[in-house]
Structure 1
Amino acid sequence: MKFTRLLAALALIASTAGAQPAPPHKEWRIASPWPAQNTIIAMLGYGDNIVGTSKVAQRIPLFRQSLPHIADVPAVSMTSSHEVNPEQIIALNTQLLFVAKNMRVPQTEMLEQAGVRVLAYDANSMQALTARVQQTAAALGPDAREKAQRYQRYFDRNVALVRERLKDLPESERVTVYHSMGNPLTTTGRPSLNQDWMDLAGAKNVAERWFGVKKNSAGEVSPERIVAADPAVIVAMNKRDADVIRTSPQWAGVSAVAHHRVYVNPQGMFWWCRETSEEALQFLWLAKTVYPARFADIDMAQETRNFYRDFFNLKLSDAQIAAILNPPE
């Protein structure tokens, strides 16, 4: 009997030899050089676990307010070819490294031996974004999964709302939109995340076919091409570009400029138009912006207030909400 118990004990020791106990979920040490991924991590309740972040994320006022410690968190080094510095990741005692698939992570075996789990996700589509929220939550823990499921219900609610309001919109009445990102002449076509939120909002992207069907449908275009397309609405990713578009003589003949329909894209924890969970608000905002009569009862200030309260535990002032919906810079 004693011999049997000894064999069982030896078997247990052998089965656990070398195994590293997983840390409690709330003790994960997380790094991500992907700015918008930092926002998703924060939404899922793990912002305080970020030990390596992005310089872009650190500069955004609401992100800093939500995570006051983030100013003291090291920014993950990235080369011009989107390569992560593995030595820095190890030095930060990182356990979970979140990256986009277009980011290069060298020496993955060394990272794995140091206890770093590399999680690389697709980007540049709405489907990839919503999937990434769920995938991130699955890696973080049960509490994050509950939040991610709640987020998906809210996202789906907004999709259903917009589709219902636009279901009888004739193709001939779809509003043409030009979206600038990074500078006034840089835009995106299909396939892209930007195309997806314009599709959801019932807008007609004037640049939809400008880049063929290559994977990265983005690039700089000529002013003449935009003038010829004559979009009814222009959405600029930042106020600097919107000011150029509104005041430059070469844009003066565009309908959106002539009719004062040049808008700055909302920005909260990140730019709503990019790879952030705030995408759930982006297409709702655009739909109301381009079809105000069909969304007259939708109060974007209240939607914004509720979203950040429910998903980021932020109580925003009226001034903060105004700054999100009409960014001052």
Structure 2
Amino acid sequence: MRVYSSFWLGICQRAVTTRKASLALGLVAGLSAALANTSAFARPVTDMGGTVVQVPDAPSAIADLWFAHNESLVMLGAASKIKVTAENPKDRPWLFKIAPALLQAKTGVRPNTADPEDLLNRKIDLVFVSDQGQAETLRHKGLTVLNAHYVTWPDMLRSLDMTAQALGTPYARDTGALYRKSMENTLQFIQERLAPLDAAQRPRVLHIAKLTPLQVDGTDTLIDSWITTAGGRNAATVTGNHRPTTFEQIAAWNPDFIILDPSSGAPDATSPLRTLKAFQDGKWAVSPQGVFAWDRYGFEELLQIQWAAKQLHPSLFQDVNMTQKVQDFYKTFFNYTLSADDAARILAAQPPA
């Protein structure tokens, strides 16, 4: 009888132990599932304004309300996720040609015209803007928003890293890292070629943003950065983008070389600008335009610095084949094959044929 009782006592003790273990395993499994679910739902990303934002682990419906940033998303493999965009096919034909998925998006939506209710109804789970105030306004309406704004080389790369982190895919991460490395290599190459030049050998360059009304880009801009990187000096003694000016002021600056924004076009034959020495000597050019205007705030800046260096110092960069550079860039970063004619049209700031 004592043996019989001991036997059942052992059984009961093992049952209790097993149940405790089962409960413990259940708690661990539940906790793991909860943590996994939290991870799938959101993760922290610090935007360019310094705000830590909980973004979806795999955003599937994006509104990109900053013109320049759409190129970044396309480059990082997220074109099909853009459901609302500030861009439109008329202004950016190359963008919509290489990323036809954008034709399915709602186009031409700016931050100041975006309807939060419409974005919510479209189930937009991530929004990109270029202004901290706009970011806060849309956040207060219940949207997940990242400020992607940048005005310098380092911040441009940091914004790219932030975007790749927000997308959360290996492709975005790897492509962002490849772009960063390509930029570092290109900057080093250009700096080594320009190293022997002193200040007097670096032309004074004026970048005209707009002809009517007359506007130029000054210091503390990305434009100023690529002028300096390409071996020039900014002739404009003003600060910021799109600064209003006069022909008399430009004549006083008397730039050695003039580069025009592709949206401005070239001055007509009767324009007083044509009397400037730079125009008279043929020392001027219209900046190229592809997916985005190379001279502004898009990621074709990598091409712009090479193009500008060749414009300003043709003898030092005679071996740089810009047609091939454009084709290689589009294949590498947009997974798109350009013909030589396509590349030539981009270099001439012309739309697709």
Q: TM above 0.5, one fold?
A: yes
Q: CA distance change for structure 1 residues 198 and 103 in 2, over 3 Å: closer, same or farther?
A: farther
Instruction: Report whether the alignment pairs 1:191 with 2:220.
Output: yes
- Alpha-carbon distance in structure 2 between the residues aligned to 1:26 and 1:66: 23
Candidates 85, 101, 125, aligned match of 1:95: 125
Residue number in structure 2 paired with 1:232:
256
Shift of 1:268: 0.9
What secondary structure does 1:306 align onto? helix
- Cα root mean square deviation, aligned: 2.6
Q: CA distance change for structure 1 residues 249 and 107 in 2, over 3 Å: closer, same or farther?
A: closer
Shift of 1:103: 5.7
Contact 1:272 1:282 (C-alpha < 8 Å) held by counterparts: yes
Unaligned runs of 5+ in 2: 1-17, 43-55
Q: CA distance change for structure 1 residues 126 and 183 in 2, over 3 Å: closer, same or farther?
A: farther
The one-letter amino acid of 1:123's match is Y
- Alpha-carbon distance in structure 1 between the residues aligned to 2:133 and 2:90: 19
The one-letter amino acid of 1:93's match is K
Candidates 228, 243, 247, aligned match of 2:266: 243
Residue number in structure 1 paired with 2:144:
117
- Alpha-carbon distance in structure 2 between the residues aligned to 1:256 and 1:242: 16
Residue number in structure 2 paired with 1:44:
76
Contact 2:88 2:107 (C-alpha < 8 Å) held by counterparts: no
- Alpha-carbon distance in structure 1 between the residues aligned to 2:311 and 2:138: 47
Q: What does 1:294-305 correspond to in 2, within 5 Å?
A: 294-305=316-327
Shift of 1:133: 1.2
Candidates 208, 215, 219, aligned match of 2:243: 219
Q: CA distance change for structure 1 residues 259 and 117 in 2, over 3 Å: closer, same or farther?
A: same
What secondary structure does 1:247 align onto? coil
What secondary structure does 2:279 align onto? helix
- Alpha-carbon distance in structure 1 between the residues aligned to 2:126 and 2:271: 50
Candidates 139, 154, 176, aligned match of 1:127: 154
Residue number in structure 2 paired with 1:266:
288
Shift of 1:261: 2.3
What secondary structure does 2:96 align onto? helix
Q: Bigger radius of gyration, 1 or 2? A: 2
Candidates 139, 146, 161, aligned match of 1:108: 139
Shift of 1:25: 6.7
Contact 1:308 1:315 (C-alpha < 8 Å) held by counterparts: yes
Instruction: Report whether the alignment pairs 1:170 with 2:194.
Output: no
- Alpha-carbon distance in structure 2 between the residues aligned to 1:103 and 1:261: 41
Q: CA distance change for structure 1 residues 78 and 64 in 2, over 3 Å: closer, same or farther?
A: closer
Unaligned runs of 5+ in 1: none
The one-letter amino acid of 2:296's match is R
- Alpha-carbon distance in structure 2 between the residues aligned to 1:125 and 1:218: 16
Instruction: Report whether the alignment pairs 1:5 with 2:22.
Output: yes
The one-letter amino acid of 1:188's match is D
Tell me the number of residue pairs that the alignment of Structure 1 and Structure 2 aligns.
Answer: 316
Contact 1:83 1:103 (C-alpha < 8 Å) held by counterparts: no
The one-letter amino acid of 1:197's match is W
Residue number in structure 2 paired with 1:53:
85
Shift of 1:87: 1.7
Contact 1:189 1:210 (C-alpha < 8 Å) held by counterparts: yes
Q: CA distance change for structure 1 residues 203 and 298 in 2, over 3 Å: closer, same or farther?
A: same
What secondary structure does 1:74 align onto? coil
